[in-house]
Chains A and B, each alone.
Chain A
Amino acid sequence: MTSGGTSDNRRRTASAQDLVDPPGGPRDGGGASRTNRAGAAIIGGAVALALLLAGTGAVASMVHGAKERLAHPAAVAAQQAVAVADDAEAPYCTPAFKQVLQRVLNACGLVGAEQRRGCQPADVKTFASITDDDFNALFTPLKERGAVLMFDDASDVLDTGAKKLLDERWLDRKGARYFFVVARASRDGTTERNRALSHKRANSVLFHLKESFQDPDLDNQVGLLWLGSEFAQLSNAYCDWPTSREGKRCTPETINRSAFASWVDCRL
């Protein structure tokens, strides 16, 4: 008993290599071989189990980590902010420009529930609390984007050149949201007459756009402004702008018989 017990203890405390490769050698009978096979299986099984547990534990840790990041994404999300699609915003959209734009849009019915089309000069006087010269200066950055459509004296009819230029400008919308038409009349004649003429010129532009493009969204895009002779007159400098009568004589009188048309690349 004692001897057998000692032998058992020795076997229990034997190394793994002893289990599979005992001193008696490999060909020492069925019982020993079974023990050796069992030893090898135990080692293999232990290795597999250890790796499996480690692997499964690692997987659990990975999923848990992802769950934590999912629950607290703030730091990561802040680094991955994505731009949002919107209308264009050109450098000339200064606060002063936007202030005028906003007031004109409100007054002209393009923003809000009003169904008006166009603004009377008095509205602009009230809403655009800046000087006439400053008002004109605001449009200076639009030189490349806009065009001056010239009219004959006392006429509100768009000629072929004016229509062509207007069409080109309209089709070159890019990211702009609003199309501005600012009609003018020269100082010839009475204030009332000039104001009415300016209004007609603005309408000529609008009607041409409607007729040519039949854009269902046009009413939400075009802002009309008609300025009579009581407003600041355009100077000769505007003769350098793209006009519908390139190469023809341009004077302070002719440049003010016109409608200025341009997309405005500003967000409001």
Chain B
Amino acid sequence: MPKLGNTVEECLLAKWRKQPGEAVAAGEVIAEIETDKASFDLTAPVAGTLLAAFFNEGALVPVYTNICVIGEAGENAEVFRPSPGVPPPAPEPPAVLPAASEVAAAGAAPAPPAAPVSPPPPAKGTLSPRARRFAERHGFSPGTLSGSGPGGRVLERDIRAAYYSSPRLSSLAARYVESGYEIQAEGSGAGGLVLARDLGEPGVALSGVRARIARRMRESLASTAQYTLNASADATGLLALRGKIKAARANGAAIADVNIGDMIMFCAIRTLVEMPWLNVEFSGGKLYQRSSVHIGFACDTPRGLLVPVVRASEKLTIEELAGRIRALTQQALDGSISPDDLAGGTFTVSNLGSFGIESFTPILNPPQVAVLGVDAIQLKPVRRNGGVEFVDHLGLSLTLDHQVIDGAPGARFLQALRNHVENIESLSGLRFQETLHV
């Protein structure tokens, strides 16, 4: 298992693409692995036969651990099998502890609970023989059941009650449930019998990456006090600069292809340098000021949402920034990005402007406290010279964590950002030769 970045200690073996006995060519994909950020293809370093696979799909494998062996057919692969690194979990303390008062009465200082003496009290959930017989006879698997017997032992009356209170399925419905269908509605048959029509289509488990995105989004909303400020900036300057860059490149000028997204990122970085109170992380009740702006940008890839991070972005010129963004985007799209480039951001930009989105509520990526949403450019009526003119405006949606950023400082940040956007050409430091103006 390769180490995919400095911070990665273990990877999920998501899927075997080759089975033992199959021939593999050098460079051929043998497995899919996932870090907690993204999934990667694992390729065979040499050609040969896959002799052994040491882990099942779904296993978490520490880095630098042998996961399989490629060699000549007939070779002994077992010598490469990793020894079980993790000792089996220690036995749990007994379920029933002496009451504190008893300990006090014995005059002894509270001591750590002793190891269970033989015979141990039956663990919660063990079935009495009669209960087991009932379960077998009724083809019933009670799952986790807390019994009414000593030490939580499940007695026949417990399993009987569970059996008769659990939904009863018609034999047809039972067959569907076996194939993954789920009980969704109350049983509509006689006496509440669950019929086939009461079942819903089988659900599909989320992929590893998707499940992690889901968990992070949930955690984000649960652990922060998010609010979004919406504003718009005059985009005339952005569009003009973009036009100049295009024209200059068309004329063979050695200038990077800086697009509007890059320009907004650049404005955000400059604003963060000036107003560092947004370039912080809030974790465990503590605020951590980050001296460098590691700016992440949301990237829609075939493997799901990824957020590549441009490190120390405040040190880059707008052209360097554009180049770095382009390179990271390409790596994210083709799956070659290093997990290290997907971590450590201090601020995030999410651009949905190209989809015509007029405003939205970006979700924070904790412990970051701010995320900037970039919206579409739209015409907006502006009072000017005693009349009304229609002027291109760029929508900006800034989500902040109210735990640490109040409305006014947040609004000031957005105001400063607007100023930078509206004065992008001077901010960018790009110079154009006068002769380019045709």
A binds B: no
